[in-house]
Amino acid sequence: MNPPVRLAEEVRAALAAGGPVVALETSVVAQGLPPPHNLEAARRCAAAVRAAGAVPAAVAVVAGAVVVGADDAALERLADPARRPAKASPRDLAALCAAGRDAGTTVAATAAVAALAGIRVFATGGIGGVHRLAPGEPAAGAADVSADLAELARAPVCVVSAGPKAILDLAATAEALETLGVPVLGWRTSELPAFYSDGSGIALEHRVEDAAAAARVLRLHWDALGRREGVLLAVPPPEAVPREVVEAAIAAALEDARGRGIRGKAVTPFLLEAVSRATRGRARTANLALLERNASVAGEVAVALAAAAR
C-alpha cells in the first residue's frame, strides 16, 4: 500500500530543518472560486507565504494521494471544472484516496492533514461554522454545522482566516468555538471579522499586535499548557465590503438556495457566488484580497513560531 500522505521535497526539507511552513487549503481552487480566479488565488497565496519567508504547502488529493505541497500542475487539475474534482472533508479522505480521485481540501481536511504532517500554521479565507436558517425554515430542524469546528477542536494548528464565512450564523459560530475550547485571537482587532466585512459586532477577548505575540500564545497553548485544540487567528479583510450590503445579498441568496433545494456541501459555493453577483464583484475582489492577506500573516506567524522554537 502506498503512503497515504505525500510531502513535496521542499516541504519535507523545511519541516526536517524546523523551518517555517504554511499549509494552504484547495477547496477554494476546486469549488470556492470560478476560473480563472481560483488558480490566481492559489498562486497569490503561495507567493504571499514565500514573501513572508515561509514555505507554502498546498494540501490536496491528487490521483488518490494526499499531497502536502501540491505543485502548479496539480492545482491546474483542481482548477479545471471539467475534471469535476471532489470536495474533501476529513471523513472523505480515505474513500477518495481508495477511488483514485482528485479533490480540493476543506478547512477541516487541511487542518487534519497539516497536523498529521507536523505543520502548525494554516491560511484560508474563512472558516465554516453554524449555518443560518433560511427564511421560513423551522428552528427545530437539525442545524447544519461545518466539520471545520470539530477539526479545530482537535487539530493543533493555527488557522489564519478572516473569521467565519459571512454566510454563517456568526454569533452561533463564535459560541461553538468557545464551547469547543478553541482560542480566538484578533489580529490587531478586538472584534471578530465577518469575512467580507471588518466587523461583526462580536467582541473578542484576546488580540495580538504582531507575529511574535501570536507565536508566544501558540507556544504557551500547545507546549506549556499541553492543549490540543487549534487556534483561530482572525484577520480583518484589507478590502472590506460594508456589512449591510453583504447582509442584504446573503438574505436573498439564502432564500434562493432554499427554493432550489440546495443543501450540504453545495450551499457554501452557491451562496458565495450569489453574493459576488449581488455585489457586482466587490465580494469576490474582497475574497481574493483577504486570501492573500491571510497567507501573508500566516507566513509571518510561521516564521516567528519557527524562530521561537530554536
- The residue type of 207 is R
Examine the residue annotation and report whether 165 is marked as an active-site residue of this protein.
yes
* C-alpha 242, offset from chain centre: 22
For residue 272, what pLDDT is reported?
Answer: 81
Helix, coil or strand: residue 302: helix
- Say how many domains are in the chain: 1
The three-point CA angle 232-156-197 to 5° equals 15
First to last CA, the chain: 36
- Whether residue 36 is preceded by a cis peptide bond, meaning omega within 30 degrees of 0, is yes
Q: Above 80 in pLDDT, residue 3?
A: no
For residue 286, what pLDDT is reported?
Answer: 93
Q: Above 80 in pLDDT, residue 141?
A: no
Three-state SS annotation for 191-258: ECCECCECCCCCECCEEECCHHHHHHHHHHHHHHCCCCCCEEEECCCCCCCCHHHHHHHHHHHHHHHH
Q: Above 60 in pLDDT, residue 258?
A: yes
The three-point CA angle 136-139-145 to 5° equals 110
- Catalytic one of 87, 151, 165, 300: 165
pTM of the model: 0.93
For residue 267, what pLDDT is reported?
Answer: 80
Q: How far apart are CA 72 and CA 89, in angstroms?
A: 22
Quick one: what percent of the chain has pLDDT higher than 90? 79
Position with higher pLDDT, 157 vs 32 = 157
CB 147, CB 90: distance < 8 Å:
yes
Q: Above 60 in pLDDT, residue 234?
A: yes
- Scan for cell 466585512, then name that residue: 197
Q: Could you tell me the CATH number of the domain that includes residue 72?
A: 3.40.1790.10
- Provide the pLDDT confidence category of residue 136 given band limits of 50, 70 and 90: low
The x, y and z cell numbers of residue 64, run together, are 488518490
Question: Do the bridges between strand 55-62 and strand 65-68 make them parallel or antiparallel, or are there none, so unpaired?
Answer: antiparallel
For residue 50, what pLDDT is reported?
Answer: 99
Question: What is the average per-residue pLDDT within 286-305?
Answer: 98
Examine the residue annotation and report whether 25 is marked as an active-site residue of this protein.
yes
User: Domain range spanning residue 219?
Assistant: 5-309
For residue 268, what pLDDT is reported?
Answer: 78
Helix, coil or strand: residue 49: helix
- Provide the pLDDT confidence category of residue 207 given band limits of 50, 70 and 90: very high
The pLDDT tens digits for 60-113 are: 999 999 999 999 999 999 999 999 999 999 999 999 999 999 999 999 999 999
Comparing 46-50, 91-95, 233-237, 262-266, which segment has the lowest mean pLDDT? 262-266
- Catalytic one of 25, 151, 229, 300: 25
